Amino acid sequence: MRTLLAATLLIALAAPLRADDKPWEKPKDGVFTEKQVDAWIDYSEKLIKAKDEALKAIDKAKNDPAAAIAVSKELEAKEKKLQEASGLRSEELAWVGDEAMKIHMVWQVWTQSLKPDLDAKLKDEDDKLAAAQKAKADVAAARKSGRRIMTPEEKADAKKAADDQVKSCEDALKDAKQATADAKAALDEAKKGDDQDAIKEKEEALKAAKEAEKEPAQNLDVAKKRQKDPDLPLTDDEKAENARDLSEREKNADEEIKTRQANRDQIAKSTREFQEKNVDPELKKHPAKNVEIVKARRERIQAVFEGLLGGPKKDK
């Protein structure tokens, strides 16, 4: 019975035929007015509400056929009153609703489904294109500054490694200085005697100890520079490695830019062509004034469409 009632409503909204004094004729130019469309929307909204109430009443009646029939007849009576109150003839209501719905569905499907999907794909490609262009700009900036391209995480790891290297070099230099101090003390002790060979040996040992301080001192200097600028290559090998890395990054960025530019251009072209070849021709089948009137009432017409398809609203 609920199915029968719903079908009755669809027929009423699609073609609410009633006997009128004079036949209604569609305007020769096919243009409707704002007043006609507003009257059809108002009529449809009220009839959908009446349908919802009727379906709820049938649900409450459960398996009582007599009650269901009574509700159906009551709905028919309400539909007749609503049609009369609209100020439009039954054929006029049917024509306005059919024309408005045809226009609305073309625009609704395009603007709410197809185009948003294409726009999302275009944005994704634009975002990836922008990222590739930034990557290329980062390469140019890195070449100018002589630095590596590093993520914040990579830079933090390099800084920690440099901190550890500084500590290690400081310990090594400390040991070397202690060795020098020990060698000097040994020489001073040897000079208290007359053994020239022993003195010469200690002098050579002190000289060697002082020479041994140079390497850990140099290493410490390098480590401190790394600690200050973790992304700055210092040795020739590091600079050559960085140059190769920047070249590879630039190559990858150029390829990504080319790919993303082609993709976004194709999506933009497809969007434009679909509208020009499908959406616009469909809308041009209707008078421009009709399209303008329907577009201005999209939300209410969509609510009517959903009301036609849906069941009774749940009480909140």
Q: What is the C-alpha separation between 37 and 100, in angstroms, rounded? A: 8
Kindly state whether residue 180 falls inside one of the protein's structural domains.
yes
In this structure, the answer to whether residues 102 and 160 fall within a common structural domain is: no
| Cβ–Cβ < 8 Å for 148, 245 | yes
- Domain span at residue 191? 150-230
Show which of 230, 250, 275 is a domain's final residue. 230
Full pLDDT tens readout for the chain, 316 residues = 444 444 444 444 544 444 445 788 999 999 999 999 999 999 999 999 998 888 888 888 777 788 878 888 888 899 899 999 999 999 999 999 999 999 999 999 999 889 999 999 999 999 999 999 999 999 999 999 999 999 999 889 988 998 999 999 999 999 999 999 999 999 898 888 888 888 899 899 989 999 999 999 998 898 898 888 899 998 999 999 999 999 999 999 999 999 999 999 999 999 999 999 999 999 999 999 999 999 999 999 999 998 888 744 544 3
Kindly state whether residue 126 falls inside one of the protein's structural domains.
no
Kindly state whether residue 301 falls inside one of the protein's structural domains.
yes
Kindly state whether residue 93 falls inside one of the protein's structural domains.
yes
In this structure, the answer to whether residues 11 and 108 fall within a common structural domain is: yes
| Cβ–Cβ < 8 Å for 95, 21 | no
Show which of 193, 209, 230 is a domain's final residue. 230
In this structure, the answer to whether residues 88 and 189 fall within a common structural domain is: no
In this structure, the answer to whether residues 8 and 106 fall within a common structural domain is: yes
Show which of 211, 230, 249 is a domain's final residue. 230
Residue with tokens 């020769």: 28
0.75 cut: is pTM over it?
Answer: no
Helix (H) or strand (E) holding 92: helix 90-109
Number of domains in the chain: 2
Please state, as a whole number, how many other Cβ atoms lie within 10 Å of the Cβ of residue 131.
13
